[in-house]
Structure 1
Amino acid sequence: MYDALTAALQPTVTAARRRLTAGMAALRAQYEARPQTATVLKGRAQLVDAAISTLWAACAMPPPIAVVAVGGYGRGELFPASDVDLLILLPGPADADLQVRLAALVGALWDMGLEIGHAVRTVDECLAIAADDITVQTNLLEARLLAGSATLFDEFCERYRAALDVRAFFKAKRLEQEQRYARFNETPYALEPNCKESPGGLRDLQMLGWIARAAGLGRNWRDLARRRLITGGEAGELRKVERFLQHLRIRLHYLAGRAEDRLLFDHQEKLAAILGIEATATRRASEVLMQRYYVTAKIVMQLNTVLLQNYGSVIFPDRGAAIVVNARFQVVRELLDLREEDLFEREPAAILESFLLLEQRSELKGMSARTLRALWINRNRINAAFRAHPGHRALFLQILQQKRGILHAFRRMNEYGILSRYIPAWRRIVGQMQHDLFHVYTVDQHILMVLRNLRRFTMGEHAHEYPLMTRLMMGFERHWLLYVAALFHDIAKGRGGDHSRLGMADAREFCVHHVLPGEDTALVVWLVEHHLTMSHVAQKEDTSDPEIIERFAAVVGDERRLVALYLLTHADVRGTSPKVWNGWKGKLLEDLFFATRRLLRGATPQEALGLDDRLEDARKLLRYHGLRPGIEEALWAQLDPVYFMRHSAEEIAWHTRVLYHRPRSEQAVVKARVAEGEDGVQVMVFTRDQKDLFVHLTGLFGRMGFSILDAKVHTTRHGFALDSFMLQDPGHAASYRNIVTLIEHELSARLQQPGAPERPARGRMSRQVRHFPITPEVSIRPDEAGRHYVLSLTAADRPGLLFDVASVLAAHGIRLHTAKIATLGERVEDTFLLTGQVLAQDAQVLKIERELLEHLQV
């Protein structure tokens, strides 16, 4: 029957294919003569509609079934080489006859020359799959009937809308966007961006449309303006940038002859010519094109942020009252908000203060929509007089000197034009391309990547990535000076001449204006001048030659400069491209660093800064307790630098005293003691690593009534778990000494016969969290080395929370290597180092993130 039906359909298929080919050629000619996006997008969708309807009738499909356009095709838009996504709706399981007809239909559609993505499902199946898969749920959101049963289609639409949880949909799309941003390094400024998927691309605009449609807020930008979710001007801006991105994608498809969404170097010059963009005296046409693209992407990201916040205020109208910060600012829905609309006009200094507050208050997730609008509108108030004000200069230095949030502050300042107003030289490098084999970011984004890399050296949760760098950074006095050097090291690119020498002048001017001491100014200026020197010597000169090392040491002069240059060079090389850095380059730099340091120290090997001091202090404590020299070596040989970075000298000595004589104990070793200040109990567990160990431990502590204030989870080189916890229970605050033995006994007994993990009681939500809820956040991202994944979560604290997190990870076969638990009052900010096969699959990571978020809700 299949062969007969296929043969019968052949004339229809041939005629339809001919019409499609001629129609597409006509659309292309019409578009090139008068470029309008609707010509192609709507025109191709209509051509395909007609072809499918004709074929549907020719197949004599039974009346009770329907064929439905979904995804972008459902929206009535098809780019020249886009797939055609179809859903064939059935009232029930297909019989043998219908299966044959469906197979013939799909085969005929491919024979027509269409790239088909299809699914054959009942309404029940659609809803079941949509409930588990946000991508399917999104595709079905824009379903459009092409042919067949309108009754079945109406039933599907009605049941789909009834099943759609708008709040869950909003959260899932936000998570999906964060995951996509992470895949593209959270920036639209790659030199070969994807105009559809990269941050600031078409996908961001489509996501805004999906959420608006799901929430019933509107179907176009005008609808959103009528709802006052955006201004009329912003609606016009959105339509303008949307058209530009659509034109780019249409041209790319025509140029490549296939579905190509990446603005590759191969296409940029041709695209510029097609779009009528000409070269200038100093820039190629492709550079002018890409500058326009980056400006467009920047606007998309700004308006995306504004709209998502406004969507959130409609979808989640019950998220707490405003909290006053000071006379100028308040917190609304965990966002920094102006108390008065004209604040920046009256007090321009508040522009910089807003970024400082974001750094200082960890509960803030960003700025409110009206704050962002006000920043953009008032950025030009940062002029020469503003820059010359001593108070403003002091504020800017404070932003550089904070313990957290520096990178996000500078990214926001760059995005909203504040940085280029405060540092005029920065204006020239915004969106400036670097056509070489190494840099995959524009100059401004490369500098921010270098700043990011330097910041990560200061964070304990990233110590496993580059332990030596973290050690050196933490031992470097006033390490914020390296951030200043990073900001200026490439700021003179594109001016002609040696950018290192030219950048020195800008750096010196900044340091002098901000009244930095002469020694600090000299260091920053020297780093800008020599930021390429170390990588050049390491990679291009014979570092086994003593004369080369002596010459490099003479340039460096002292150990402080050497450490500073090593840190900046390491961050700079890694900031060029994810593909440029490798272990070989790292080893070259490391060897040069140690050889030079030994030379500067008189050729006597010395311990590394920070860690060596900590180990020496630990050894002194061991000698104080009567242990003979060298007794610690067997145990310490099994512990890597991450362990020593995350434990104090006193903790290292305590662990060593307990374990030095049994580094391979077959029995679990549990030791507890009252913490310093007697405000809790410290517990150490040492045992052969085992499945779900962390789940067992968190469950045991929870059932014993303890809150986990801090946890350090470590796996030794020889396969043992060495975990330490800080526990607290207000009900036993006066009698911790009496329960130390109880903890040791209970844990030892349970670890010998663990059984299945038992969940502790969930516990009550605190009064503070009820009145000022903390919206949970979860992200799982690969680490720098690509060997592990980092799980970061923020949520309201409660008993059993860690058990829930550990249980979700264990259920997916994810192995926990290390954990950093930070409890800040009612708020927890936890970081876990993970491995597991499922973490390489984006869909599974998204599912795990959603499960964790469900458990973190209070």
Structure 2
Amino acid sequence: MSNYRESKQRLLQAFAAQTPTTRRVQALLRALAARTEEALSALWHEANMPAEACLVAVGGFGRGDLFPHSDVDVLVLLPDGAEAHLPGALRSSVERFVSSCWDAGLEIGSSVRTLGECVSEAQNDVTVLTAMLESRLILGPRTSFNAFEAAMQTSVDPSAFFRAKSLEAQQRHTKFEDTPYALEPNCKESPGGLRDLHVLIWVARAAGLGHTWAQLAQRGLLTPLESRHLRRNEAALKLIRCLLHLQAGRREDRLVFDLQTAVAHQLGLQAQGGVRASEFLMRRYYWAAKAVTQLHQILMLNLQERIAKASTTPSLALNARFLDRGGLIDVVDDTLYEREPQAILETFVLYVSVQGLKGLSARTLRALYNARSVMDAAWRSDPTNRAQFLTILRAPQGQTHAFRLMNQTSVLGRYLWAFRRIVGQMQHDLFHVYTVDQHILMVLRNLRRFFIPEHAHEYPFCTLLAAQFDDPSLLFIAALFHDIGKGQGGDHSLIGAQKVRRFAREHGLTPTDSRLVELLVRKHLRMSQVAQKEDLSDPDVIAGFANEVGSPRTLTALYLLTVADIRGTGPKVWNAWKGKLLEDCYRLTLRHLGGAPLNREAEIEARKQEARQLLALRSALPETEAPLWRTLQLSYFARHDAAELAWHARELWRTVGQLQAPVVRARPSPIGEGLQVLVYTRDVADLFARICGYFDGAGFNILDAKIHTTQDGAALDTFQVLSSDPDTLHRDLVPLVEQRLAQALTQSGPLPEPRRARVSRRVRSFPFPPRVTLRPDERAQAWVLTLSATDRVGLLYAVARVLARHGVNLVLARISTLGERIEDTLLVSGSALQSPRLQLAIETELLDALALPT
């Protein structure tokens, strides 16, 4: 049957030779199904299958569509009692048929059942029932197949089937995080994918309501507009899935990064104005998936009502325009929004203000879907609508769900036109794992949780500050606009600030509040930069940031927005160390704004006194701290808190002046995550590199490093580290780290090569170009080295080896990992930095070290 492979290949080549369209892909899928039927028929006859047996296409093949690399699902339907009449011959024929299919290149999924077995299996397994509902006769007696169809229809309980398929869909959606906006969505299984459309047809068939969109429209379950949109978006998803199969050369339903650009180019999409071709593709996909999600929800609710006859559900009048029908907001008639456009936002005002409402009815969802044309410029500028939008923002509860629902129904993008531009927009910064609109709504959700007492245990300090903040709606406005300027060219913070300034003016915010939301949007990245990249022990840094913020109210708002923003970028970005840095930045700046600027000498003296008290509480002898402290400079005391000063003194007082071997001490980090590791040893040129080499080999990520050299030539370094294994109990690792790191520091000879690991598919697809900047610090006493690159195993160690090779000493390290990107700031010194030629060599070698392996 080489003819099958050859003819299939010719079909695929002919399709690939033309510009792919939805019409051509539908023709291809039907042609592949028809060619497969021909091959199956020939093999069926060659296998001498009994005349009373039927060959039935089921599943996707039963629908008459066959994707290039999908399985061919068939049922060999036998009449009851066939095994008894033809036991040996039947078995031999079936085995010959199945094996010949595989030999011919047909990847079949086959089942062999009698009619009675089909009924029994269908009653026991809803998945089997689902596959057999989508059946089509290929060969065999029509009367047998008709009996099979009738038995399947009789076997199904529409209500139970609907419930089972609804639960399956919920489970599937949960697996894909309940969003169609994943960066690598599965165009078949993700929310808004083809499977959601299949579920609708399955449920309709089970209820005897039809098996095409046209039939559902004839029965009043769909409007003609909805039917057209379903067909159009289904065709778009089929086209993308088909191209994925062709590009991958196998069954591949995920829009993985590796294939997005290739699929985009095959569709004729090209990069424009700094926007990648893959971004245009994903925007097209997300809009289709969003429409499918909306229509799926509408039709499922309609099917539920039709199956359960839920139209008799008691209703309660909310006002003259809306009813409460079983907890769902229902419009009094289908044309409400077209007659009274102001009722659109009133829907969501009711949602956040009336207890017990949990969603929108199918009738309301449909009315919103069909009323998009009235949500125009005049509607956006209507004073009543503006007042209603502010009412939603200022409601005491429900904003998170309301704004998600507004986005799902396209109301949010129609009201905030700038928001519409970022719906489904990808972010290629290896930092955010959500599209821009989903990230914004996640930030809004995080802010809202700060104001809910039930979530106080998550971020107690944020909840404490939120309880004292006078107007939460201002934070919600800032959240909606903080990234709204992305993808428009230029600085998105400035673009967003312009847009929120206009919003504030149009919605009547006071001048004070307008200035606050504008500043929050314009500077929403600033606090994170100060906390993670600058020296918080420097009074000038704190004073400069305080001048930018201007008031405690603004500082509190910016702190809450910053925490919510970082938490909303992805599940792996936030950690306790970032939380500590931001909280320290907040407290120091608040003190300065309160009229108590940081006085370094007074602050250090207070820390020393607190450290002495902590030592006394641990029964330490008087003057325990003195031997160590006499060897240290002011910078040491400025960069460590009192607890760290006491810990160092307690661990090292016997060793000062008598250092024979490296001293390594570790403890569970006071921030509640990871380990804090103290290293005290003789200072050598490659010390930092050797320490990084140990942590690299042991699977630890370095979050922070404080490097000091004592006046008697010893190195006193403190590291904040976190195991790369999320299930690690760090307390159990203390003895191991103390022993193994001390051993590593006694080794001599060349530094070992860094570990190499495979980079993720996302990193390969969206590489971040490495950047190295080396400049003198403000006092010209050291050099500031900033590094930006794609993160990977062994990266900091590779940097440390370059510095060690050139005799460059590390004074301070601020390590910042943003998703899959690092933004590190190192304070370094060394004679090599005085030479322009050596500077250039160091920068070149650092760029090579930061580059992704080829």
Q: Into which bin does the TM-score normalised by the smaller protein fall? A: 0.5 to 0.7
**Paired residues for 1:305-704 under 5 Å:** 305-318=297-310, 319-332=312-325, 334-383=327-376, 385-459=378-452, 462=455, 465-466=458-459, 468-543=461-536, 548-549=541-542, 551-582=544-575, 585-586=578-579, 588-590=581-583, 592-593=585-586
- Aligned-residue offset at 1:247: 1.4
Query: Deviations for 1:359-388, whole angstroms, at most 9, x for unmatched residues?
Result: 223443433444334434444545555444
**Residue in structure 1 matched with residue 37 of structure 2 by the alignment:** 49
* Cα distance in 1, alignment partners of residues 89 and 592 from structure 2: 84
* Cα distance in 1, alignment partners of residues 356 and 124 from structure 2: 31
Report the 3-state secondary structure (helix = DSSP H, G, I; strand = E; otherwise coil) of the residue aligned with 1:85: strand
Query: Deviations for 1:21-66, whole angstroms, at most 9, x for unmatched residues?
Result: 3234235415744852333212222222233333334334456655
Q: 1:582 to 1:196 in 2, by over 3 A?
A: farther
**Paired residues for 1:34-113 under 5 Å:** 35=21, 36-61=24-49, 66-89=54-77, 91=80, 102=94, 105-113=97-105
- Preserved CA contact (<8 Å) 2:315 2:324: yes
Query: Deviations for 1:696-726, whole angstroms, at most 9, x for unmatched residues?
Result: xxxxxxxxxxxxxxxxxxxxxxxxxxxxxxx
* Cα distance in 2, alignment partners of residues 254 and 25 from structure 1: 13
Q: 1:396 to 1:61 in 2, by over 3 A?
A: same
* Cα distance in 2, alignment partners of residues 121 and 237 from structure 1: 39
Q: Relative to structure 2, which stretch is displaced further, 110-119 or 143-152? A: 143-152
Q: Relative to structure 2, which stretch is displaced further, 86-95 or 477-486? A: 86-95
Query: Deviations for 1:802-821, whole angstroms, at most 9, x for unmatched residues?
Result: xxxxxxxxxxxxxxxxxxxx
- Preserved CA contact (<8 Å) 2:194 2:234: yes
Q: Relative to structure 2, which stretch is displaced further, 82-91 or 145-154? A: 145-154
- Preserved CA contact (<8 Å) 2:4 2:104: no
- Preserved CA contact (<8 Å) 1:20 1:47: no
Q: Which has the larger radius of gyration?
A: 2
The answer to whether residue 199 in structure 2 is matched with residue 214 in structure 1 is no
* Cα distance in 1, alignment partners of residues 281 and 104 from structure 2: 36
**Paired residues for 1:135-154 under 5 Å:** 135-147=127-139, 153-154=145-146
Q: Which amino acid aligns with 1:316?
A: A
- Aligned-residue offset at 1:227: 1.3
Report the 3-state secondary structure (helix = DSSP H, G, I; strand = E; otherwise coil) of the residue aligned with 1:68: strand
- Preserved CA contact (<8 Å) 1:192 1:440: no
Q: 1:466 to 1:71 in 2, by over 3 A?
A: farther
- Aligned-residue offset at 1:531: 1.1
Q: Which amino acid aligns with 1:23?
A: K
The answer to whether residue 245 in structure 2 is matched with residue 260 in structure 1 is no
Q: What is the RMSD of the two structures over their aligned residues, measured on CA atoms?
A: 3.5
> Structure 2 regions of 5+ residues with no counterpart?
604-670, 672-854
- Preserved CA contact (<8 Å) 1:30 1:39: no
**Paired residues for 1:265-280 under 5 Å:** 265-280=257-272
- Preserved CA contact (<8 Å) 2:181 2:435: yes
Report the 3-state secondary structure (helix = DSSP H, G, I; strand = E; otherwise coil) of the residue aligned with 1:82: coil
- Aligned-residue offset at 1:138: 1.8
Report the 3-state secondary structure (helix = DSSP H, G, I; strand = E; otherwise coil) of the residue aligned with 1:398: helix
Q: 1:561 to 1:142 in 2, by over 3 A?
A: same
* Cα distance in 2, alignment partners of residues 465 and 141 from structure 1: 48
* Cα distance in 2, alignment partners of residues 387 and 255 from structure 1: 44
Q: Which amino acid aligns with 2:400?
A: L
* Cα distance in 2, alignment partners of residues 539 and 150 from structure 1: 73
Query: Deviations for 1:791-837, whole angstroms, at most 9, x for unmatched residues?
Result: xxxxxxxxxxxxxxxxxxxxxxxxxxxxxxxxxxxxxxxxxxxxxxx
* Cα distance in 1, alignment partners of residues 449 and 328 from structure 2: 25
Q: 1:434 to 1:128 in 2, by over 3 A?
A: same
Query: Deviations for 1:423-467, whole angstroms, at most 9, x for unmatched residues?
Result: 333343233333221233332232122222323444456555555
What's the TM-score, normalizing by structure 1? Answer: 0.62
- Preserved CA contact (<8 Å) 2:33 2:61: yes
Query: Deviations for 1:155-189, whole angstroms, at most 9, x for unmatched residues?
Result: 54333322211112222222322333333333323
* Cα distance in 2, alignment partners of residues 462 and 101 from structure 1: 65
* Cα distance in 2, alignment partners of residues 463 and 132 from structure 1: 46
Query: Deviations for 1:293-326, whole angstroms, at most 9, x for unmatched residues?
Result: 3332232223223222222221121442443211
* Cα distance in 2, alignment partners of residues 473 and 555 from structure 1: 21
**Paired residues for 1:186-225 under 5 Å:** 186-225=178-217
* Cα distance in 1, alignment partners of residues 169 and 316 from structure 2: 29
Q: Relative to structure 2, which stretch is displaced further, 72-81 or 297-306? A: 297-306
* Cα distance in 2, alignment partners of residues 580 and 118 from structure 1: 46
Report the 3-state secondary structure (helix = DSSP H, G, I; strand = E; otherwise coil) of the residue aligned with 1:429: coil
- Preserved CA contact (<8 Å) 1:199 1:297: yes
Q: 1:343 to 1:45 in 2, by over 3 A?
A: closer
Q: 1:159 to 1:473 in 2, by over 3 A?
A: farther
Report the 3-state secondary structure (helix = DSSP H, G, I; strand = E; otherwise coil) of the residue aligned with 2:360: coil
Q: Among the aligned pairs, what percent are the same residue?
A: 52
Q: Relative to structure 2, which stretch is displaced further, 576-585 or 214-223? A: 576-585
Q: 1:55 to 1:342 in 2, by over 3 A?
A: closer
**Residue in structure 1 matched with residue 11 of structure 2 by the alignment:** 26
* Cα distance in 1, alignment partners of residues 52 and 468 from structure 2: 74
- Preserved CA contact (<8 Å) 1:527 1:565: yes
Q: 1:388 to 1:73 in 2, by over 3 A?
A: closer
Q: 1:466 to 1:115 in 2, by over 3 A?
A: farther
- Aligned-residue offset at 1:78: 0.8
* Cα distance in 2, alignment partners of residues 88 and 583 from structure 1: 59
Query: Deviations for 1:61-112, whole angstroms, at most 9, x for unmatched residues?
Result: 4566554332101212110011222344564789677666655544443333
What's the TM-score, normalizing by structure 2? Answer: 0.62
* Cα distance in 2, alignment partners of residues 458 and 163 from structure 1: 51
> Structure 1 regions of 5+ residues with no counterpart?
1-15, 606-640, 642-858
* Cα distance in 2, alignment partners of residues 40 and 145 from structure 1: 21
- Aligned-residue offset at 1:528: 0.9
Q: Which amino acid aligns with 2:41?
A: S
Q: Which amino acid aligns with 1:44?
A: L
- Aligned-residue offset at 1:532: 0.9
- Preserved CA contact (<8 Å) 2:54 2:139: yes
* Cα distance in 1, alignment partners of residues 526 and 92 from structure 2: 70
Q: Which amino acid aligns with 2:559?
A: Y
- Preserved CA contact (<8 Å) 2:478 2:521: yes
Q: Which amino acid aligns with 2:168?
A: E
Q: Which amino acid aligns with 1:357?
A: L
